[in-house]
């Protein structure tokens, strides 16, 4: 099963597909986590708990030639959805896969009816911050010394998923009258 649609950003990594994450992916995820997140890596136990959080939580993996090269997850619990994780393996970085995964997260949150999508990012992760900003996230606040060890701040970012200045019912009425 793939999650691509016509409006998805493209990746330069050929033959990469997105599919729903399963418990069978946990060994690959726990192998990637310490490489990508060091002290903040999720354990096998955390992954089991995250997958048990369905249907409120949704997770996807990106596969290239049968290997997990990225993954993302979102918690949709009402008007505010939260990015739980997004990651791209080192060999697949810089090829647009992060944007593809972010697009999937945004689409999931919208499908769930969320008005906002929130995330936190390390203040020292400029690459991730650039992806989030170009996707439409804005800095909301800072959690001082949130990531330990190292006393690294967390930036809290939010994206408005719907333009709340427009009334969808009014727009539909205008379309009918044309």
Residue 7 lies in a domain: no
- Tens digit of pLDDT for each residue in 122-153? 999 999 999 999 999 999 999 999 999 889 99
The answer to whether 47 and 61 are in contact (CB under 8 A) is no
Distance CA 119, CA 172 (A): 32
Catalytic status, residue 120: yes
Q: Residues of the chain with pLDDT > 90: what percent?
A: 74
The answer to whether 60 and 102 are in contact (CB under 8 A) is no
Residue 5 lies in a domain: no
At 69, give phi and psi (nearest 5°).
-115, 0
Residue 136 lies in a domain: yes
- Find the catalytic residue in 120, 147, 166, 174: 120
SS3 call for 23: helix
Residue 8 lies in a domain: no
- Find the catalytic residue in 59, 71, 132, 147: 132
- Tens digit of pLDDT for each residue in 5-59? 435 566 666 789 999 999 999 999 999 999 999 888 999 999 999 999 888 899 9
Our count of domains for the chain comes to 1
**Whole-model pTM?**
0.84
Residue 22 lies in a domain: yes
Give the model's pLDDT for residue 10. 64
Give burial (CB, 10 Å; 0-12/13-18/19+) of 125: middle
**pLDDT exceeds cutoff 70 at 3:** no
Expressed as residue numbers, the domain containing 170 is 16-177
Distance CA 146, CA 152 (A): 6
CATH number at residue 163: 3.40.630.30
């Amino acid at each position: 099963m793939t999650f691509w649609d016509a409006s998805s950003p493209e990746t330069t990594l050929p033959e990469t597909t997105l599919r729903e994450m399963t418990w069978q992916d946990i060994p690959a995820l726990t192998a990637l986590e310490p490489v990508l997140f060091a002290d903040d890596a999720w354990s096998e136990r955390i992954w089991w708990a995250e997958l048990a959080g369905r249907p409120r939580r949704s997770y996807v993996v990106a596969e290239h030639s049968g290997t997990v090269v990225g993954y993302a997850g979102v918690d949709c619990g009402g008007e505010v959805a939260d990015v739980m994780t997004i990651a791209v393996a080192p060999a697949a970085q810089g090829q647009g896969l992060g944007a593809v995964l972010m697009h999937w997260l945004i689409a999931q949150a919208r499908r769930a009816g969320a008005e906002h999508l929130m995330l936190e990012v390390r203040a020292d992760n400029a690459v991730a911050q650039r992806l989030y900003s170009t996707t439409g996230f804005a800095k909301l606040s800072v959690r001082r010394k949130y990531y330990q060890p190292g006393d690294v701040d967390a930036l809290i970012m939010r994206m408005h998923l719907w333009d709340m200045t427009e009334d969808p019912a009014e727009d539909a009425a205008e379309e009918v009258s044309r």
